[in-house]
Structure 1
Amino acid sequence: MSGTTGPNADESTIRDCENCVAPAEAFSVIANETRLSILEALWQAPDRPVSFSELRREVGMRDSAQFNYHLKQLTDHFVVQTGDGYDFRQAGKKVVRAILAGSFNEHPEMGPFEVTGTCAECGSNLQAYYDDEMLAIECTDCERNHGQYPFPPGGLNDRTREEIMDAFNQRVRHLHCLAADGVCPECNGRMDTTVTRDTEDYLGLEVRVDHECQQCRHQLYSAVGLSLLDQSDVVTFHREHGVDLCTTPYWDLAWCVSDQHTTVLSDDPWKLLVEIPLDDEVLSVTLDGDLTVLEMERTCESASAEEGAQAISD
């Protein structure tokens, strides 16, 4: 399968691949218990490269010829042979990581269970549940969706529910940060970002942000405000009000999961205003359709109220 190229890519470098194998053939190579054991032994080794004899001993196979046959099947595509022994290629590491993540062999379910935070719509409690490698958060009363994203089964291991939610919070931030930067979190392909009307009612929003990979078609959806979670001025604004935005659950920030603080100033072209209130201040952020910050202004709510009262009296 040829690689996907960008407008300035050197096609001769990206597309030519004398040793490439078809996906079906690659999966057939690792669909063997002994070969998976070899990869796992290589992963567990304290130092790499690992010699042939040491690797065979760790796998526990007495027949040297049979072991050599299976190792040769992995070599070049998943494992590389060096002068000092055997080491991983990136594809081999990905196979082991996928196994450790539980993506191939684990299908747990969890919940629903209560999580910290309140519904952005009605103020009721929130709950989370896990199914089909997806973790979702919704309101216990109005059932409003506060996000549903992939979370590999391995992320549930050796964690309390609170720790799972902390990890999920960081993962969602990471997913959207990569997507907004144009990098697919699944395959590293080119990710396109668009603002659209939420006609399918995925998140109960007037407008939503869509991220879609042009290579693997992976998709992410969110409210407009979620794109501002790692914006330096927004982070500073919260810090000055005693809030650590880096650890605050995104689902507990109304401007990240709802439209109540978002105003559509124009839709041709898109121009959006997100207003973030904290204590007696409001941070107003204006963005375009690419989620580029156009303007930013901090105002005092009390001052605005006084100006409004003065205008009425006049």
Structure 2
Amino acid sequence: MTPESRDESGDLSPDEAFAILANETRFEIIQTLWELYEPDDPANLVKFSDLYDSDTAVTFSELYDRVGYGDTGNFNYHLEQLTDHFVRRTDAGYELTEAGFEIARAVVAGTVRERPHLDATELDADCPRCDAPVVAHYENHHLIVSCSECRGIWQNATGEAGVLFTFPLPPTGLSGRTPDEAFHATLAFNLNRVQSFISGICPDCSSAVDQSLDICENHDPRDQSGCPDCHRQHLIEVGEVCHQCKSVARGPLSIAILAHPAVAAFYYDHGIEHLFASWETFRHAQSVEEEILETDPLRIRLTVPCENDRLRLTLDETLSVVEAVEETSYVRD
């Protein structure tokens, strides 16, 4: 089925979507509607809900004039190809659908006036493993954070170098921010996404996600040098994959468990306001103890310490917490 012959009321396949958007005029229509959209207008605060009487859509003539297309008939044809999926027709004219907004936002997030760049910069943060200064640099739309002394949490295949984390950050995330501000923004941006994955919901398309575990059978992190088998400090890694839009999240289970409400309550009882989407999550995760209790069925124990107390969490094969026990006044080895 070609875009021209598709059923307007039906679903749009990825091939059809790419074919529709691979046209300069159609893309310019989306861009123009986005530029004319006023998010502060009360009628746009609750979009598509008909809670307000006013209709903020753009008229055909205004849209035609703004785009500057020379042929009214062909312009109307291109507009109709976008309608229902990327553009919505109202009594007053045309406006972007949520899918249209997502296309525009993806372009805006990756566009800045100058190509963003951040050389290796020492941050106002200490390594959670050795307390040495943390260093960050930005390349390929990712913020790479490393320790200035140790090999961090993940090591390369030779074990000679490693990182604390490598997180994606749209170029606009650097705009107007200091390196330290970009560092914390990256953590908040990505760990909030991780929390959505943990809840079983893809943060990009809202589809269900599939979960998998990677347990290193011969784990031997060897202090600061990393495990020679899995090249990481943590025993258990959890992966979350959305097969609908191919978004993915992967990281230590010792970090993911810190999103559980039992952990937040445990810290709060000790006078700590635990915010998952923060640098402190990485710091706390380095003291979480991992243990495989059983393999069939799988039972995992994670122990979260705080002062002289600890919270023991037992997880099943779905990573659901089946038991939470708090122990007080213990002394760690």
TM over 0.5: yes
Matched, 1:27 2:12: no
Aligned residue in 2 for 1:261: 289
Question: Is the 1:211–1:220 contact (alpha carbons within 8 Å) kept by the matching residues of 2?
Answer: yes
CA distance in 2, matches of 1:232, 1:60: 54
Aligned residue in 2 for 1:68: 76
Aligned residue in 2 for 1:312: none
Task: Tell me how far 1:85 sits from its aligned partner.
Answer: 0.6
Aligned equivalent of 1:229, options 243, 258, 274: 258
Runs (5+) with no aligned partner, structure 2: 2-6, 42-55, 153-162, 218-228
Task: Tell me how far 1:102 sits from its aligned partner.
Answer: 0.7
Aligned residue in 2 for 1:5: none
Matched, 1:280 2:280: no
Alignment RMSD, CA only? 3.3
CA distance in 2, matches of 1:236, 1:296: 11
Task: Tell me how far 1:98 sits from its aligned partner.
Answer: 0.7
Aligned equivalent of 1:121, options 129, 135, 138: 129
Task: Tell me how far 1:64 sits from its aligned partner.
Answer: 4.2
Aligned residue in 1 for 2:48: none
Task: Tell me how far 1:104 sits from its aligned partner.
Answer: 11
Question: Is the 1:195–1:270 contact (alpha carbons within 8 Å) kept by the matching residues of 2?
Answer: no
Task: Tell me how far 1:106 sits from its aligned partner.
Answer: 8.7
Task: Tell me how far 1:173 sits from its aligned partner.
Answer: 2.1
Aligned residue in 1 for 2:192: 174
Task: Tell me how far 1:79 sits from its aligned partner.
Answer: 1.0
Aligned residue in 1 for 2:150: 142
One-letter identity of the residue aligned with 1:129: H
Aligned residue in 1 for 2:31: 40
Check 1:248–1:189 CA distance in 2 against 1; reply closer, same or farther (3 A cut): closer
Question: Is the 2:112–2:172 contact (alpha carbons within 8 Å) kept by the matching residues of 1?
Answer: no
Aligned residue in 2 for 1:7: none
CA distance in 2, matches of 1:160, 1:149: 17
Aligned equivalent of 2:170, options 135, 139, 152: 152
CA distance in 2, matches of 1:168, 1:56: 39
Which of the two has greater helix per residue?
1
Aligned residue in 2 for 1:205: 234
Aligned equivalent of 1:79, options 87, 90, 101: 87
One-letter identity of the residue aligned with 1:131: E
Check 1:104–1:32 CA distance in 2 against 1; reply closer, same or farther (3 A cut): farther
CA distance in 1, matches of 2:95, 2:242: 31
Question: Is the 1:129–1:137 contact (alpha carbons within 8 Å) kept by the matching residues of 2?
Answer: yes
One-letter identity of the residue aligned with 1:55: L
Which deviates more from structure 2 when the two are superposed, residues 82-91 or residues 116-125? 116-125
Question: Is the 1:108–1:132 contact (alpha carbons within 8 Å) kept by the matching residues of 2?
Answer: no
Task: Tell me how far 1:247 sits from its aligned partner.
Answer: 6.5
Deviations 1:152-184 (A, max 9, x none): 223222322232222222222222212222222
Task: Tell me how far 1:305 sits from its aligned partner.
Answer: 4.4
Aligned residues, how many? 290
Question: Is the 1:134–1:150 contact (alpha carbons within 8 Å) kept by the matching residues of 2?
Answer: yes
Map 1:48-67 → 2, pairs under 5 A: 48-60=56-68, 64-65=72-73, 67=75
Question: Is the 1:262–1:272 contact (alpha carbons within 8 Å) kept by the matching residues of 2?
Answer: yes
Check 1:119–1:269 CA distance in 2 against 1; reply closer, same or farther (3 A cut): farther
One-letter identity of the residue aligned with 1:138: S
Question: Is the 2:211–2:241 contact (alpha carbons within 8 Å) kept by the matching residues of 1?
Answer: yes
Deviations 1:212-237 (A, max 9, x none): 23434433221112223332221122
CA distance in 2, matches of 1:123, 1:271: 33
Task: Tell me how far 1:122 sits from its aligned partner.
Answer: 2.7
Check 1:228–1:205 CA distance in 2 against 1; reply closer, same or farther (3 A cut): closer
Deviations 1:88-132 (A, max 9, x none): 223211110111111799964423223343333333222222222
Give the TM-score, by structure 2 length. Answer: 0.73
Which deviates more from structure 2 when the two are superposed, residues 117-126 or residues 80-89? 117-126
Aligned residue in 2 for 1:295: 323
Aligned residue in 2 for 1:193: 211
SS at match of 1:229: helix
Matched, 1:242 2:242: no
Aligned residue in 2 for 1:94: 102
Check 1:51–1:157 CA distance in 2 against 1; reply closer, same or farther (3 A cut): same
Aligned residue in 2 for 1:9: none
CA distance in 2, matches of 1:58, 1:217: 35
Give the TM-score, by structure 1 length. Answer: 0.77
